[in-house]
Amino acid sequence: MIAEEQLQKIIERFEFVEAKMNTQLSGEELVKLGREYAELKDVVDTIRSYQAMNVELAEAEAMLKDPDMKELAELEYYDLKEKLPALEHDVKIALLPKDAADTRSAIMEIRAGTGGDEAALFAGDLLEMYTRYAQGQGWKTSMIERSENELGGIKQAVMNISGDGVFANLKFESGVHRVQRVPVTESGGRIHTSAATVAVLPEAEEVDIVINPTDIRIDTYRSSGAGGQHVNTTDSAVRITHIPTGLVVTSSEKSQHQNREIAMNVLKARLYDQQRQALDDERSDARKSQVGSGDRSERIRTYNFPQGRVSDHRINLTLYKLDQVLGGDLSEFISALMSADQAERLAELGL
């Protein structure tokens, strides 16, 4: 049973915010309150539905004592009794602390790992998979940096994915993805195991990270494509080095001004991610979640071509639909990962 006092405090805060929004406010205050109102509204709607069902259940229980109403009351009572646990679970989920970054867009980095050319080809498969998934969600993707090998595989790719709730959906994709298949470079038909790493970073907002101009070094250079062919004929590519951390970010679009902006956004996202990781490390003794750890050295998923299966090792979920998954159908994995993370956090809070 959820404490009524806890629910009432949330309702009172929502009513305060709602009333405050009808007063004279500055634009900044209105935006801040509007965001809190939107976050609280769904929570409060769920709480009120739960409270109303509890009232109906109490009324039906009281009617059971009336011989004339008992038969009708029993139908209603047991129907409500059956529905209440699901609504109570919804309330508990709504009460879980929100990750402030969940609503944000994200920057995804994919790198070939062990396995040489085959790892790069697999990294390219992952890039295509996530691009198709993003398109299916109605999100916008734009390539920030892409480095290919001679076979057209991806040595490294950095992509911006913009839309509502991007980070919430993709944050559990960070980690080592492993592939088992016969490489195109293998003449003997033997199955090889290769890997690629994925990192998903929430986009940083201006208030999150402030970079001191003296802490960065900006270099321009001429970018080149596969095989050494020049992509640009001018020194428009940009490399930014963050001196205190040693982080290096590059961007090689056609416009030098655009490259500076893109590279700074990526740098801010990486610095913001470092801050979030540091906070997670502080909490690590209290929380050992395999789903939400964000440990990018952890092997999280295996794509087995001979058996046509994909297995997520954190939640022990295996799907025999390899082609569909690589085609961008990640919904089952993402839903299961979100549910597992919610279950772990509910258990931690004793809800």
- State both tokens at 43: 């929570």
Question: Which DSSP category does 104 fall into?
Answer: S
**Tens digit of pLDDT for each residue in 298-315?**
789 999 999 999 999 999
* Distance from chain centroid for Cα 288: 18
CB 163 within 8 A of CB 138: yes
Q: At what angle do helices 70-95 and 27-63 cross, to 10 degrees?
A: 150
Beta partners for 301?
Answer: 177, 312
DSSP per-residue letters across 270-287: HHHHHHHHHHHHHHTTT-
Cα 338 to Cα 3, 65, 78, 292, distances in angstroms: 25, 44, 31, 9
**Interval 223-250: pLDDT, tens:** 654 444 444 445 678 888 999 888 888 8
Structure tokens at 11: 């309702």
Q: What is the pLDDT of residue 254?
A: 61
User: Considering the entire predicted model, what is its pTM?
Assistant: 0.74
- The low-confidence residues of the chain, meaning pLDDT below 70, are 1, 185, 187-188, 206-207, 223-235, 253-255, 279-297, 350-351
The dihedral region occupied by 116, where left means phi > 0, alpha psi between -120 and 50, and beta the remainder, is left
Strand-pair category, 216-221 with 317-319: unpaired
Mean pLDDT (the chain, rounded): 85
User: In sequence order, which ranges of 184-291 are alpha helices (DSSP H)?
Assistant: 256-283
Residue 227 DSSP one-character state: G
- Indicate the SS3 state at residue 317: strand
For the chain, the C-alpha Rg in angstroms (whole number) is 25
- Give the integer Cα–Cα distance in Å for 79 and 76: 5
